[in-house]
Structure 1
Amino acid sequence: MSSSASSNGGGKQSGKKGGLLTPGRLSVAALGILGLVFIFENTSHTKIRLLIPEVTMPLWTALLATGVIGALCGAFLMKRRK
C-alpha cells in the first residue's frame, strides 16, 4: 500500500461534512445580506411603543435590534438541541 493512501484513510475525507460554501451557508448569507440591506434602507425616524413608554428612534435601529434578538434566541435554541 502506498504511503499516500494510508495517510488519509484510504482516500476518504478526513472528518469534514462539507466544504466552506455549502448551499445552506450560501442561503443564510444571502438572507443575511438582504436583511441588512432592508434594515439600512429604512432610515426614517419612527415611534415605537413597548408596553407603556413611547420612544422615537431611527427605524433601522429598531429593526437591527429585533434581528439581533431573534438571532440570539435562535442560537440559544440550537445550542440546547445539541
Structure 2
Amino acid sequence: MRQKTKSPESGVRGGSRREMFTPGRIAALVLAVLALVFIFENTQETEIRVLVPVVTMPLWAALLATGLIGALFGAFFLTRRRC
C-alpha cells in the first residue's frame, strides 16, 4: 500500500502536537484568556476623553479596543521586522 505524501507546495504543514503546542504559544494563549477575563469582568460605565470630546462607554469596550489596537500594532511591527 502506498502512503500519500504532501508536497511543500500544497501549503499544508505536517506537524506533531509537540510542534503545535510550544511553550510560547501556550503562554500567549494563557495571557489572552486572562486578558479577556479581565476585560469582561470590568462592565461599569466610564468616561474617556478622546482629544476634545468626552465619551461615556462601558469599560470592557474601551479595554477591548485598546487591546485590539495593541495587537494590530504588534503584528504589524513583527512582520516588518522579519522582512
Taking structure 2 as the reference length, what is the TM-score of the superposition?
0.77
Q: Please list every run of at least 4 consecutive aligned residues from structure 1 whose deviation after the TM superposition is greater than 2 angstroms.
A: none
Taking structure 1 as the reference length, what is the TM-score of the superposition?
0.78
* Percent identity of paired positions between Structure 1 and Structure 2: 61
Q: How many residue pairs are counted as aligned between the two chains?
A: 69
Give 2:47's aligned residue.
47
Give 1:35's aligned residue.
35
1:45 deviates by 0.4
1:51 deviates by 1.3
Q: Deviations over 1:18-71 (max 9, x none)?
A: 610000000000000000000000000000001111000000000000000000
Give 1:10's aligned residue.
none
| Partner Cα separation in structure 1 for residue 75 and residue 51 of structure 2 | 26
Give 1:6's aligned residue.
none
Give 1:5's aligned residue.
none
Unaligned runs of 5+ in 1: 1-14
| Partner Cα separation in structure 2 for residue 81 and residue 51 of structure 1 | 31
Give 1:9's aligned residue.
none
Could you tell me which amino acid in structure 2 is paired with residue 65 of structure 1?
A
